[in-house]
Amino acid sequence: MNNISLIFLILNIGCIGYQGSKDKLNEQQILEIGKKYSEWFYVSKLDSLSNRILDRNYKLSDLKNFRKKVQTELGNELDILNEQYGSEPWQYYYVRYSRFENSPQPVRTLFTFDDNKIYQFSVESLPLEAPTRFLDYKVKTKLFFPFKDEWFVAWGGRNINENQHTISKEQRFAYDLLIRKNGKTFTGTGNSNQDYYCYNKAVISPGSGIIIEIVNSVDDNKPGQMSKIHGNRVVIDHRNGEYSILAHFKKGSIVVKVQDSVVAGQLLGFTGNSGHSSEPHIHYHLQNSPDIDNGEGLPIKFESYFSNGEYIEFGEPIIGERVSVGIQP
């Protein structure tokens, strides 16, 4: 099989930002609906699926042609690698990563919907992970999570179906971390940064070192919008060839200065939504260079934490885990 990355958006339907009715669904209901829509598509119950699509500018024949194209180019779905689901302002989402016969990479199936209508639907063969020479790297710095309380791993892992950052050589092993409750990351409408559970939460140093760069003046984005710049950030030199990069701080919230010495657990600033970010969260990655745009990502191993209630002495959490600090640094 050719080592290719099929990247194509086969069908994109619906109205982004449509503010239709949305009954409150729990996580299990969201999962069941997403699974149902996927099964309707992959087992060709296309009439049922068609009746749920909001956009009436397409024909059932379009959906049938779409299904035929998926079958021709990707073959059959072999197994499901993982599933993600939850709630965003005005819509729910279900994402399914699967292996297919003819795709060297995982395939992502995405639905966004409310209680009875589908807004968007896409099938995409994902890109290849960035090559790395550090798969067996042993981290030198004693690292802890950069937060207190329980957080959720939104992106984390070594494979593209676990972590969207893996296509970047600098962010090859990066984490996106946020707070999630009952399948949601926000309360209220989610239209304001203040609605998000992790907004303005303390961000603490993951390890000891020297502050070598800060950016503290970038405005927070409105949720759902992203700028193309990195945003507010802190870069820590651990004095051993490893550099921690933490990003998306709230504007003006960073309390350390360049050349400050820090220890694990020391306050750096507060969570925001600045830069290339669509909602408040912490971005964290480790690399072998102080230059955020020119380095190689390094695997991160965290000390002493709980994952889904189980104590982990030294580990590497992945997407979907609920994590909290075990022993405070």
| Residues 143-167 pLDDT 10s | 999 999 999 999 999 999 999 999 9
Tell whether the model's pLDDT for residue 291 goes beyond 80.
yes
Which has the minimum average pLDDT: 8-17, 51-60, 171-180? 8-17
Are 282 and 146 spatial neighbours (Cβ–Cβ below 8 Å)? yes
d(CA 85, CA 183): 7
d(CA 60, CA 52): 12
Torsional sign, CA 269, 319, 278, 181: negative
Of residues 52 and 169, more confidently modeled: 169
Tell whether the model's pLDDT for residue 19 goes beyond 90.
no
Tell whether the model's pLDDT for residue 198 goes beyond 60.
yes
pTM: 0.86
Confidence band for 228, pLDDT divided at 50, 70 and 90: confident
Tell whether the model's pLDDT for residue 60 goes beyond 90.
no
Residue 85 parent element (H or E)? strand 77-88
Confidence band for 23, pLDDT divided at 50, 70 and 90: low
Q: What is the mean pLDDT of the chain?
A: 90
Tell whether the model's pLDDT for residue 226 goes beyond 50.
yes
Of residues 255 and 182, more confidently modeled: 255
Retrieve residue 253's tokens. Answer: 């919230």
Averaged pLDDT, 284-289: 98
142: closest CA among 24, 52, 15, 240? 240
d(CA 7, CA 84): 20
Are 302 and 145 spatial neighbours (Cβ–Cβ below 8 Å)? yes
Tell whether the model's pLDDT for residue 3 goes beyond 60.
no
Are 176 and 155 spatial neighbours (Cβ–Cβ below 8 Å)? yes
Tell whether the model's pLDDT for residue 15 goes beyond 90.
no
Burial class from Cβ neighbours inside 10 Å (0-12, 13-18, 19+) for residue 250 reads buried
Torsional sign, CA 243, 248, 252, 255: negative
What is the 8-class DSSP label of residue 177? E
Going along the chain from its start, the domains and CATH numbers come out as 27-125 (3.10.450.50), 150-325 (2.70.70.10)
Tell whether the model's pLDDT for residue 32 goes beyond 70.
yes
Tell whether the model's pLDDT for residue 126 goes beyond 50.
yes
Express each pLDDT in 296-329 by its tens digit.
Answer: 999 999 999 999 999 999 999 999 999 999 876 6
Averaged pLDDT, 32-54: 90
Tell whether the model's pLDDT for residue 63 goes beyond 60.
yes
